[in-house]
């Protein structure tokens, strides 16, 4: 049952591909060549592993959540601790990988898009570490909302470029990064932030994130005499952390659950449930499920977690949904907040709001499973970045209560 996707055209079944202007085709081909060379180069692989280990702190632990497990009375719960990575999320795995690739390809500059700033910070971090110039495209609206992350990128030496097109958010920042890449393709590497975009990006990002899955698998097996977990749960924004952890288990007899942001509830229209509620379409060069109007205009998604706030989803997830290999579920803001609280109280881990979606779903799953089953949650990031949001949320609730 080994997956052989993507095909030579970058397709995962009908999904994926390269729906980009002709002007970028050369760069994508160049990138694919560079990538294939790199991942077949022992030195590159050694450098990458060295940096993941000695700079970012991998392997991240697989933590048994004993109190949470006990509280729920169902399956045993393990947490793959991507929150312990340098800069606080899985994003750095990919940023380091692509930045090293950029260097190997002789590029001097990177550009990146960012929404809330998480990938921007990761990209700026890798750029600083590897001596690359860095420009980060960010919607004007997001810049306003996330001034501290903007400041952080600047501290790291990156230039943050406001994007004023469209809704001035992540999707527009991504459009703009692609546009700018087109005109600077010679010396510039576009460091994309999730398993999205035109081929070969979804493949590249998966490669660099699959360390999550392979580590988790080895760690779990080590703890359980070679057995595999029964289920793996991960949140899905663009889909990079999920595809990364799934990579370790997709060819095994392990149930996989992807969790999208249900926002204020699917029926309200305020959500980012691309797969539950989107239709096939093209976004950022890739054919995938997409939140869009009847006529095909891309819609602005909503989620309390900025990192799940993407109107599309990586094409491999579209394929995994289409083939039913992965079960995709939605979790609302409210459920995610509650799960975040529970994990905090039971295990002393303040996870990212994104990751809290996976936790919330896992709580449901675990309850329905037997105590001799086990599941792994991909804890994609830490919640430091969200404390302000949670605090404001709490204040609001308190004022409603009065």
Partner 1 sequence: MTNRMKEFQNLKTPLFVPFITAGDPSLEATVDLALALQNEGASALELGIPYSDPLADGPVIQRASLRALKNGMSLEKAIKLVSDMREKGLTIPVIIFTYYNLLLQLGEQKFFELAAQHDIDGLLVPDMPFEESKELHEACLQHDLSFISLAAPTTSRERLKEIGRTAQGFLYCISSLGVTGTRTSFANDLDRFLENAKASSHVPVLVGFGLSSREQMQQFEGKCDGFIMGSAIVKKIEELGPELVNEETKDKAIAAFSDFLSKVVPVKKVYS
Residue numbers of the site for partner 1 (CB under 8 A)? 9, 17-23, 25-27, 29, 164-166, 171-172, 175, 178-180, 182-185, 279-285, 290, 292, 294-298
As a three-state string, the secondary structure of 253-277 is CCEEEEEEEEECCHHHCCCCCHHHH
Is the distance from CB of 196 to CB of 312 less than 8 angstroms? Answer: yes
Which of these, 173, 199, 191, 163, lies nearest to 286 by C-alpha position?
A: 199
Is residue 151 within the footprint of a second copy (CB under 8 A)?
yes
Nearest to 136 by CA among 187, 216, 192, 184: 192
DSSP code, position 281? E
CB of 336 to a second copy, least distance (A): 14
Residue among 25 and 345 whose Cβ is closer to a second copy: 345
Q: Does 307 bind ligand PLP (CB under 6 A)?
A: yes
CA gap 147, 206 in Å, rounded: 30
Spatial separation of the C-alpha atoms in residues 378 and 242, rounded to whole Å: 7
Q: How many residues bind ligand PLP (CB under 6 A)?
A: 20
**Catalytic pick among 51, 113, 347, 365:** 113
**Could you tell which of partner 1, ligand PLP, a second copy, none binds residue 140, using a CB distance below 5 to 8 A set by kind?**
none
Confirm whether 338 is a catalytic residue.
Answer: no
Q: Does 209 bind a second copy (CB under 8 A)?
A: no
The active-site residue out of 18, 91, 107, 321 is: 91
Q: What angle do CA 342, 343, 345 make, to 5 degrees?
A: 65
CA atoms within 13 A on the CB side of 185: 14
354's contact among a second copy, ligand PLP, partner 1, none, with CB below 5 to 8 A by partner kind, is ligand PLP
Stretch that binds ligand PLP, among 140-148, 283-291, 352-360, 393-401 (CB under 6 A): 352-360
**195 to 234: interface string for ligand PLP, x by CB under 6 A:** ----------------------------------------
Residue 376 bridge partners (DSSP): 78, 232
**Does 394 participate in binding a second copy (rule CB under 8 A)?**
yes
Q: Are the C-beta atoms of residues 352 and 46 closer than 8 Å to each other?
A: no
Residue ranges binding ligand PLP (CB under 6 A): 89, 91, 118-119, 194, 235-242, 307-308, 352, 354-355, 380-381
**Residues taking part in catalysis:** 91, 113, 380
């Amino acid at each position: 049952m080994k997956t052989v996707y993507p095909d030579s055209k970058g397709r995962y079944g009908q999904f994926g591909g390269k729906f980009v202007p002709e002007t970028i085709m050369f760069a994508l081909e160049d990138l694919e060549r560079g990538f294939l060379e790199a991942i077949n180069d022992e030195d590159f692989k050694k450098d990458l592993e060295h940096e993941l280990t000695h700079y970012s702190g991998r392997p991240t632990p697989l933590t048994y959540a004993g109190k949470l497990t006990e509280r729920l009375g169902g399956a045993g719960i393990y947490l793959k601790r991507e929150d312990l990575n340098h800069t606080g999320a899985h994003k750095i795995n990919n940023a380091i990988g692509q930045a090293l690739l950029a260097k190997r390809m002789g590029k001097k500059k990177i550009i990146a898009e960012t929404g809330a700033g998480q990938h921007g910070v990761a990209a700026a971090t890798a750029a600083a570490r590897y001596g690359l110039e860095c420009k980060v495209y960010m919607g004007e609206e997001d810049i306003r909302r996330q001034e501290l992350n903007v400041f952080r990128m600047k501290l790291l030496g990156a230039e943050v470029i406001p994007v004023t097109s469209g809704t001035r958010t992540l999707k527009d920042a991504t459009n703009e990064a692609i546009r700018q890449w087109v005109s600077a393709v010679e010396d510039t590497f576009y460091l994309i932030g999730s398993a999205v975009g035109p081929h070969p990006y979804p493949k590249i990002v998966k490669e660099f994130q699959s360390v999550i899955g392979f580590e988790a698998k080895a760690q779990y097996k080590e703890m359980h005499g070679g057995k595999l977990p029964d289920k793996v749960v991960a949140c899905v924004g663009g889909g990079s952390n999920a595809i990364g952890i799934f990579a370790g288990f997709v060819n095994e007899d392990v149930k996989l659950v992807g969790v999208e942001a249900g926002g204020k509830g699917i029926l309200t229209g305020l959500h980012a449930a691309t797969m539950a509620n989107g239709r096939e379409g093209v976004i950022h060069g890739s054919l995938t499920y997409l939140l869009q109007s009847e006529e095909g205009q891309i819609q602005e998604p909503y989620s309390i977690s900025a990192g799940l706030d993407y109107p599309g989803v990586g094409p491999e997830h579209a394929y995994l949904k289409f083939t039913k290999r992965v079960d995709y579920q939605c979790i609302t803001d409210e459920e995610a907040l509650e799960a975040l609280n529970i994990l905090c109280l039971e295990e002393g881990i303040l996870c990212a709001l994104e990751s809290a979606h996976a936790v919330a779903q896992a709580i449901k799953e675990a309850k329905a499973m037997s105590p001799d089953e086990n599941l792994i949650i991909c804890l994609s990031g830490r919640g430091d970045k969200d404390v302000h949001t949670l605090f404001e949320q709490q204040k609001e609730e308190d004022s409603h209560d009065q």
